[in-house]
């Protein structure tokens, strides 16, 4: 069974929050992008990787000023999915914004 649990401000549907916290900690300690890429390939299906990559791209485009409709067209995604990314970017203390600006220098 899933339960609504807040993980640092993102409401999620996780059955095992401890595992999410553990993997987050492990990933933060790995200083090898290729190892992280391999690990993600082991953990996630091709479709899950595609979904994550698409969400990452849409957030970057939104932050660069692209309209939601332009992002939908560019990435062949539904406006619903893009609206969710947009809402996450607008949140106070957005993790997306922090990562984009601190780690990608957008």
Q: Residue ranges per domain, the chain? A: 1-43, 46-106
Tokens standing for 10?
């993102």
Please tell me the distance from the alpha carbon of residue 68 to that of residue 81, in angstroms, as a whole number: 10
Coil, strand or helix: which one is 12?
Answer: strand
Residue 79: pLDDT above 50? yes
Q: What is the pLDDT of residue 2?
A: 38
pLDDT in tens, 34-78: 999 999 999 999 999 999 999 999 999 999 999 999 999 999 999
Tokens standing for 16?
């095992």
In this structure, are residues 55 and 73 in contact, taking their beta carbons and an 8 Å threshold?
no
Which residue in this structure is represented by tokens 């090898």?
32
Please tell me the distance from the alpha carbon of residue 4 to that of residue 91, in angstroms, as a whole number: 19
Residue 80: pLDDT above 90? yes
């Amino acid at each position: 069974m899933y339960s609504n649990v807040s993980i640092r401000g993102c409401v999620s549907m996780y059955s095992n929050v401890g595992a999410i916290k553990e993997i987050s900690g492990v990933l933060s300690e790995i200083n090898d992008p290729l190892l992280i890429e391999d690990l993600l390939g082991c953990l996630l299906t091709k479709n899950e990787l595609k979904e994550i990559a698409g969400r990452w791209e849409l957030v970057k485009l939104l932050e660069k000023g692209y309209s939601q409709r332009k992002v939908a067209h560019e990435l062949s995604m539904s406006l619903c999915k893009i609206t969710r990314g947009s809402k996450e970017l607008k949140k106070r203390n957005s993790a997306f914004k922090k990562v984009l600006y601190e780690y990608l220098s957008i």
